[in-house]
């Protein structure tokens, strides 16, 4: 058993694994303590199904080897420790738990086995109609066992499958059948409802999803839906199904469309969908928490792209999901299809991950911390310096207030600058112990800019409402400095040295400064002086009159710099 504390992020990167969102049940850990992700390597090279028994705190897992050799159901406790196995005559595949959690039903090639979940003893077997290696799906609804079966030993995904009911030691053909390995799901609070889905195969281009009412003596089919449009686009690529705790919604992990949310009454799209999975993530699993508050959405994604999102089950609640990116060679790097399950109280999420080759598997037991607390920005944002200047560093100052315990990781805020060029995201900065922060920027345009500062939440705090500040960005100032002789001689060469400096961006090349001369004969414009790359320039003149002569130099400015002027006075005497 390995304990892991990495690869999770909200909108800001975090380093401890957690499921923390408002109201999620905490275990005995202190409120400020982050959750743990405990990881166990599974002794299987394939994976078929997982069942969570919250009454006895057990997790059952089967592989998908499709062998007639003796097999095992792997049994783990809620701490992620392996506590035993259940022996099967041939390779097991599907599983279902009775409503009272007293019996676990396990399918194998010769039928459906039953086990006492308290003693782990085998208690019976319903013999199937066929002895096949193709995996069976099993569900428990309406107080009875149901299973699907393809009457074949090969090409399991493209043969005809039938829906059977186990009765005593025998089975009853329900008459329902279709092409492909039909999958079954039952609901936590709707024990009489079965959901059947048809995976997409080479022979099934527009698969269906349907429900059955198993509460009566006769199995009654409910609504059916196929998802492709008239052009054949948008067909279902089924990976997993979950029914909400209240039975009103059905979530579907569709590798083609992401997470679909459907109205259970007619399988129409729910009025408000879940937000899309991250770019590059393909839906593989879905599970509602037993308490009805949260949903886990699993995916297959490469690298640092999130493979697991945990968020409120209500799609209208746009609280930022917690994102898990599994990318470790020793812990799996994606969620396996049908690889998610919750404990009934929502205190633990169980996730099966696999590698890119699909030949190694891991069980993650993720335990949430206490409920998150509120956060808010207090007061108004301000700038330092007070006047924003293009091309010069600018600090956006503010204060963030956090309720509850201190965060276990550094708290960070981020900001976005919007100007005429669009939006630019600024680097996130840490918040000081007193809640103060300074986001740094260098404005690139003259004119109006708006800064929006965000806190997207962390392990123990919910996101804060964004705060904004409008800023007028001015041109960068320039300065002219002149060095002139104290005296000169009428009619003889006179030189004045100067330098133009500017803040912010570098001054443009090839600029000049204007020169005016004022003496007792009046004011006249002299030849402009070229400014060198280092900002220096020289003014040469032959004074035309004796007495006080003033030279005024000016820079008109440019798109990013304001203008400036400087003057120097020279006392000119007569020659000789």
The confidence score (pLDDT) of residue 368 equals 58
- d(Cα 69, Cα 188) in Å, to the nearest integer? 33
* pLDDT tens-place string over residues 359-371: 999 999 987 544 5
CA 324 to chain centre: 8
The confidence score (pLDDT) of residue 127 equals 73
Residues in the chain where the model's pLDDT stays below 70: 1-36, 129-131, 152-153, 188-191, 368-372, 459
The confidence score (pLDDT) of residue 36 equals 60
Domains 2-367 and 478-573 belong to one CATH topology: no
Write the CB contacts of 208 (distance below 8 Å, at least 6 apart in sequence): 178, 197, 198, 224, 225, 226, 236
DSSP 3-state assignment of 347? coil
The confidence score (pLDDT) of residue 463 equals 86
Tokens of 100: 């009272």
**Domain 2-367 coded CATH 2.130.10.10:** yes
The confidence score (pLDDT) of residue 252 equals 98
Could you tell me how many residues make up the chain?
576
The confidence score (pLDDT) of residue 424 equals 95
Positive or negative torsion for Cα 223, 224, 226, 229: negative
The confidence score (pLDDT) of residue 380 equals 96
Residue with tokens 């393909």: 282
Q: Please report, for the chain, the start and end positions of each structural domain, with discontinuous segments joined by +.
A: 2-367, 375-474, 478-573
Which option is the CATH number for 375-474: 3.40.50.620, 2.60.40.10, 2.60.40.730, 2.60.120.260? 2.60.40.10
- d(Cα 387, Cα 373) in Å, to the nearest integer? 36
DSSP 3-state assignment of 429? strand
Tokens of 10: 């909200």
The confidence score (pLDDT) of residue 161 equals 87
The confidence score (pLDDT) of residue 81 equals 95
- d(Cα 203, Cα 157) in Å, to the nearest integer? 9
* pLDDT tens-place string over residues 504-540: 999 999 999 999 999 999 999 999 999 999 999 999 9
Q: How far is CA 311 from CA 31, 230, 286, 289, 298, in A?
A: 19, 34, 12, 10, 12
* pLDDT tens-place string over residues 69-101: 889 999 999 999 999 999 999 889 899 999 899
The confidence score (pLDDT) of residue 27 equals 25
The confidence score (pLDDT) of residue 191 equals 63
The confidence score (pLDDT) of residue 167 equals 79
Query: ∠416-420-426 over CA atoms, to 5°?
Result: 20
The confidence score (pLDDT) of residue 4 equals 42
The confidence score (pLDDT) of residue 287 equals 96
Looking at domain 478-573, its CATH superfamily turns out to be Immunoglobulins (2.60.40.10)
The confidence score (pLDDT) of residue 22 equals 27
DSSP 3-state assignment of 454? strand
């Amino acid at each position: 058993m390995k304990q892991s504390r990495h690869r999770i992020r909200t909108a800001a990167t975090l380093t401890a694994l957690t499921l923390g969102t408002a109201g999620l049940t905490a275990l005995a850990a202190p409120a400020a303590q982050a959750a743990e992700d405990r990881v166990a390597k599974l002794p299987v090279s394939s994976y078929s199904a997982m069942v969570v028994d919250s009454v006895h705190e057990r997790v059952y897992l089967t592989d998908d080897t499709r062998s007639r050799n003796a097999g095992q159901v792997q049994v783990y406790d809620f701490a992620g420790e392996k506590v035993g196995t259940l022996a099967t005559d041939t390779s097991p595949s599907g599983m279902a738990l009775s409503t009272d959690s007293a019996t676990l039903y396990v399918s194998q090639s010769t039928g459906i086995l039953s086990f006492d979940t308290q003693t782990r003893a085998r208690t019976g077997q319903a013999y199937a109609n066929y002895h096949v290696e193709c995996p069976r799906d099993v569900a428990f609804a309406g107080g009875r066992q149901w299973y699907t079966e393809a009457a074949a030993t090969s090409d399991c995904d493209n043969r005809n499958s039938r829906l059977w009911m186990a009765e005593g030691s025998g089975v009853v053909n329900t008459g329902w059948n279709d092409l492909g390995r039909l999958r079954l799901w039952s609901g936590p609070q709707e024990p009489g409802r079965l959901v059947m889905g048809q995976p997409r195969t080479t022979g099934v281009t527009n698969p269906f999803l349907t429900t059955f009412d198993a509460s009566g003596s006769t199995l009654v089919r409910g609504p059916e839906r196929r998802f492709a449009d008239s052009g054949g686009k948008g067909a279902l690529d089924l990976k997993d199904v979950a029914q909400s705790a209240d039975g009103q919604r059905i979530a579907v992990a569709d590798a083609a469309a992401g997470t679909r949310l459907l109205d259970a009454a007619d399988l129409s799209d729910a009025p408000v969908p879940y937000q899309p999975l991250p770019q590059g993530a393909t839906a593989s699993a879905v599970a509602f928490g037993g308490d009805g508050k949260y949903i886990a959405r699993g995916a297959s994604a490469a690298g640092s792209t999130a493979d697991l999102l945990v968020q409120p089950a209500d799609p209208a609640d746009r609280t930022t999901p917690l994102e898990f990116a599994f990318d470790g060679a020793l812990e799996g790097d994606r969620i396996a299809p049908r690889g998610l399950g919750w404990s009934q109280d929502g205190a633990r999420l169980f996730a099966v991950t696999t590698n890119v080759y699909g030949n190694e598997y891991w069980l993650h037991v993720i335990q949430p911390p206490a409920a998150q607390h509120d956060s808010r920005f207090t007061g108004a944002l301000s700038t330092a310096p007070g006047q924003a200047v293009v091309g010069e560093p600018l600090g956006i100052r503010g204060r963030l207030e956090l309720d509850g315990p201190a965060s276990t990781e550094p708290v960070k805020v981020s900001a976005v600058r919007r100007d005429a060029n669009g939006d630019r995201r600024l680097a996130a900065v840490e918040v000081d112990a007193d809640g103060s922060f300074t986001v740094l920027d260098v404005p690139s345009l003259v004119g109006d800019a708006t800064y929006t500062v965000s806190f997207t939440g962390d392990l123990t705090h919910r996101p804060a409402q964004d705060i904004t500040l409008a800023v007028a960005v001015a041109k960068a100032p320039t300065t002219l400095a002149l060095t002139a002789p104290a005296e000169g001689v009428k009619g003889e060469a006179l030189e004045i040295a100067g330098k133009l400096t500017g803040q912010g961006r570098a001054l443009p090349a090839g600029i000049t400064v204007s020169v005016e001369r004022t003496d007792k004969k009046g004011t006249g414009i002299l030849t402009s002086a070229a400014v060198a790359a280092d900002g220096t320039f020289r003014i040469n003149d032959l004074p035309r009159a004796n007495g006080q002569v003033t030279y005024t130099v000016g820079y008109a400015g440019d798109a990013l710099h304001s203008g400036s002027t400087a003057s120097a006075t020279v006392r000119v005497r007569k020659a000789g």
